[in-house]
Amino acid sequence: MAAKKTGGLAGISAGTTHLCTVGKEGAGLTYCGYDIYDLADNASFEEVAYLLLRGELPTQSQLDEYVAKIKSKRGLPDALKVVLEMVPGDAHPMDVLRTGVSFLGNIEPEGDFSNQLDTADRLVACLPSMLIYWHRFHTDGTRIDTETDDDSVAGHFLHMLHGKAPSEMHRKSLDTTLILYAEHEFNASTFAGRVITATLSDMHSAVAGAIGALRGPLHGGANEAAMELISRFDSPEAADAGVREMLANKALIMGFGHRVYTTSDPRNAVNKKMSKALADEVGDTVLYPVSEVVEKIMWDEKKLFANADFYAATVYHFMGIPTHLFTPIFVCSRITGWAAHVMEQRADNKLIRPAAEYIGPALKAWTPIEERG
């Protein structure tokens, strides 16, 4: 059916998926048939990763086995560590991950795709290691051990970052954001990954391309941009005046709006609750109130709602995570959705090659170079 607005392929169905519904009546956001609120309340990120990559929730023994497998695949090859040390410390960590995944594709190539699930598990396991190895090497000169005892990806991430095991509240909060970010149907990065996959390319290429797409501020980069916005204001009053002025100047307010959701992003309620709890824990009296004011103005003035990235920003900030690691955390989560889409695309592949409507000049006669100008 023709969509009302077709710019940017809005409203166009570009294929089928078993993995996710976004904004469907009554269902909101679902992964493999499960409501995001049930998953956020009850599941661990590892259960969700298993669900997306294997199509069913695991039994306890399957989950134990999966967690052990992920733990065993966290180590980084020496050659990759050398590359991470060579990437400048002031590079953007999204570029670091893109390079890291691409390099891994050289030293651990996927081959004939018969072990695609192992490739996916390897990426889930080692992306946090890659990111924090690079970060710690360039910030405090430490060559960290990326093989911690933590069972969860969230615990592993925070342990490597801060050099000590996190509190359960912090671990759980990060775990929940990983669940919320894990999958989102044909969003820009996933679609980019599927286009690459459909040429029968390898998973590392699809993921490197997806990371490049996620990096931009209209997509995953919005959580970092939202933090930059929120921390610009030192009081709710300053935020009120500042955001109104930005709107008057037709500026984009990062962390608001969505291509598919029309009245709310279901992930926002969960992130907002966590942001409030963490704000209380750290005694914040500025950032959370500022966020609430921005959210209210955006709804009152533009009927635009906070998307998943808006309160995710302060959730991460209150846990002491540097802003430039926010979008890379999204990668550490969305790798599950991306890899699931790579496998789904391969299972029933067709080259993705749409047509374009030509709006250029009519056919012209060839002009020899000496007769031009």
Q: Which positions lie near ligand COA, rule CB under 6 A?
A: 8, 10, 218-219, 222, 252-259, 302, 304, 307-309
Residue 144 half-sphere exposure toward CB, CA atoms < 13 A: 27
**Alpha-carbon distance 265 to 257, whole Å?**
9
State the nearest-atom distance from the C-beta of 6 to ligand COA, in Å. 11
**Active site amino acids:** 219, 258, 309
Q: By the 8 A CB rule, do 228 and 282 touch? A: no
Q: Which tokens in the block code for residue 102?
A: 């691409």
State the nearest-atom distance from the C-beta of 369 to ligand COA, in Å. 42
**Alpha-carbon distance 270 to 283, whole Å?**
20
Helix (H) or strand (E) holding 83: helix 78-86
State the nearest-atom distance from the C-beta of 158 to ligand COA, in Å. 24
State the nearest-atom distance from the C-beta of 208 to ligand COA, in Å. 21
Residue whose CB is nearest to ligand COA in the complex, by number: 257
Closer by beta carbon to ligand COA, 103 or else 181:
181
Q: By the 8 A CB rule, do 178 and 329 touch? A: yes
Residue that has been written with the tokens 């995944």 in this structure: 101
State the nearest-atom distance from the C-beta of 4 to ligand COA, in Å. 11
Closer by beta carbon to ligand COA, 222 or else 339:
222
The residues, ordered by sequence, that sit 6+ positions from 213 with a Cβ below 8 Å of its Cβ are 188, 189, 191, 192, 193, 219
Q: Which tokens in the block code for residue 351?
A: 């080259």
Pairing of strands 28-31, 20-24: antiparallel
Helix (H) or strand (E) holding 183: none
